[in-house]
Chains A and B, each alone.
Chain A
């Protein structure tokens, strides 16, 4: 293994030091709506138009983005999120956010992103991609400062801000590899993005999340794809050789990574894993293979639909992941199933408020939890046998 800081006390200390919540926590996958709450003005859209018309420059546009990031930090903290992101509101899309900073790419036609109704400009490799300077570090630094400010204003301790970036396998798979060929592009991207991950860690990002949604595209018979993805992730993580103070998370949303296989995922030195359990419920099978010293973030709030999520289900998911292999509640988080950018802002806010509350309750002891939700959801077996003892505070409540 290139490094092993995910194992043992060092990891635990680091992990606990960088997130304030000691048991369950809630976090975004990454993206959050850049749209306003209902009835509010939409300065970002107006600024975009003014930028296109030359009425403001890039710095003026960035100021509007900065204000939105500050606003979203407060919104996440108020919702009870334990690890924050900048909502990726500066990104055109996850691919372009990286390829525009790398050498060796040009943008081409619009393509649909997985099975969503959102689109991205497909990057095309014009040569071997090369990392020349940090791409996301300044944005992460700004978000970290904004989060500190928002926490201070609320009389809270600072919360960790997660840096997110697309992984090499997914970026290559969603790109036009051109003459380079996809295998060469994937491996070159692994080296390049590894440098970016290292830059983020060296800048102080306490959690760096690598998004590899294309692992869900690997089929049962795609041994060559498994091998390529594995090699890419090995090269990416080896960029952190020699660094010990970091936390690396691998996220797979938009489907099930079951066919990618547990060996591909868990042989890699990631400290934690985020899985979409709505679009890819089979990811539960993968989680059952995860070593106990790896964190699990359960993507249990449906990020693709406005319907309210069932709180006991979210709580159960977190506690189940905690119970598997004796992982414990201090290594488990709750999240939306993917980025929340697909929802209107009001619904996204309701989702993270529900997630924050579910995470809080999931971190409670059994008796305390039984006072806050229907006790049958806490102890189904007892309920089934008609032996549940209702806490006094709920006596006469649930039937």
Chain B
């Protein structure tokens, strides 16, 4: 039996109201670190239990301990100051870091929380990191004056964190690069930095990219040396899949099938449609199914409903097509360094899929 269509989540889940209130109290100095940490762990456990209850294959800790994905790492790395708040969209704001000295990792950042989350379940929990390009792009720079130097210093720091996660036992390490599709001319820098991060990494490496110009970033994005690229596809109604017919996708794909910026919960058949569109161009054993992006902007009820729909939709397709759910013994795949198919690079359009 073919196994595939494994379910997972991109990373973040919404924080429960009591944790949000606690974070406010902590920021005001009215709640201790230990008390906040206890609430973060309780919320993490709740999300682990929820994911297990609906049959998710690869779990996340839900990032109950993070605010912004770039700022969280900047706060823990040497060389950053944390600036004032700036707006991302709508009524969403974050504290944007400022590089004021050379960036250096002085201690493990996520390992302890990963160990805790993994201790709660027998299913694999992803190690979750933010990529060097995105941290640099979402920071101000008052030190380097060179984007490349800034990004590559960060790459070494994130590499050390990834290696520590793998040493702790993480089989899946996700290095999010949502900014990767922002500037086409800097995609080689994204790939160079990711090459440093995943160099010698004995775990299955994923990167998540979202809300950029995928049509222009493809196929160059295939040069990013990871095993899986997780893509937000619902938001663009799966437009990119059409390009996979012309230029084969050489890695595993994280298939975003749920709009994380909509309150509306998709119908199961909508998600089934998205999965089947992907199956027209990719084999099931290369597909991991998840929401478009982190679900932290939804309410707890909305996020859980969306995850249930994804789980139900995958079960429906698996039943219909006879696809199993057994998870292979993953690690680095041949696709990590496969890059853009050679035939395509020489302008050929008829190419056999080079799937891992």
User: At the interface, yes or no: A184 with Cβ under 8 Å from chain B?
Assistant: no
Contact A120 B183 (CB under 8 A): no
Q: Which of B58-115 contact A (CB under 8 A)?
A: 83-91, 93, 96, 98
Interface string of A284-321 (1 = CB under 8 A from B): 00000000000000000000011100000000000000
Interface string of A342-363 (1 = CB under 8 A from B): 1111110000000000000000
A306 in contact with B98 given A49-B91, A110-B211 (CB within 8 Å): yes
A306 in contact with B140 given A109-B235, A111-B211 (CB within 8 Å): yes
User: Please, how many angstroms separate the alpha-carbon atoms of A109 and B238 in the complex?
Assistant: 12
Contact A341 B86 (CB under 8 A): yes
Choose from B85, B182, B236 the contact partner of A344 (Cβ within 8 Å): B85
User: At the interface, yes or no: B141 with Cβ under 8 Å from chain A?
Assistant: yes
Interface size on A, residues (CB 8 A): 29
User: Please, how many angstroms separate the alpha-carbon atoms of A341 and B141 in the complex?
Assistant: 17
Of A32-40, A202-210, A369-377, the one with at least 4 CB within 8 A of chain B: A32-40
Interface string of B122-150 (1 = CB under 8 A from A): 00000000000000011011100000000
User: At the interface, yes or no: B197 with Cβ under 8 Å from chain A?
Assistant: no
User: At the interface, yes or no: A381 with Cβ under 8 Å from chain B?
Assistant: no
Contact A118 B89 (CB under 8 A): yes
Q: Contacts of B213 on A, CB cut-off 8 Å?
A: 112
Q: Contacts of A222 on B, CB cut-off 8 Å?
A: none
A112 in contact with B211 given A35-B87, A306-B83 (CB within 8 Å): yes
Contact B86 A119 (CB under 8 A): no
User: Please, how many angstroms separate the alpha-carbon atoms of A398 and B213 in the complex?
Assistant: 50
User: Shortest beta-carbon distance, A188 to chain B, in Å?
Assistant: 24
User: At the interface, yes or no: A45 with Cβ under 8 Å from chain B?
Assistant: yes
Contact A112 B212 (CB under 8 A): yes
Contact A344 B96 (CB under 8 A): yes
Choose from A35, A110, A112 the contact partner of B85 (Cβ within 8 Å): A35
User: At the interface, yes or no: B259 with Cβ under 8 Å from chain A?
Assistant: yes
Contact A33 B142 (CB under 8 A): no
Nearest residue (CB) in B for A116 is B182
User: Please, how many angstroms separate the alpha-carbon atoms of A305 and B93 in the complex?
Assistant: 17
Q: Contacts of A45 on B, CB cut-off 8 Å?
A: 91, 93
Q: Contacts of B85 on A, CB cut-off 8 Å?
A: 35, 344
Q: Contacts of B179 on A, CB cut-off 8 Å?
A: 117
User: Please, how many angstroms separate the alpha-carbon atoms of A35 and B85 in the complex?
Assistant: 7
Binding site for B on A (CB under 8 A): 33-35, 38, 45, 48-49, 52, 92-93, 109-112, 115, 117-120, 305-307, 341-347
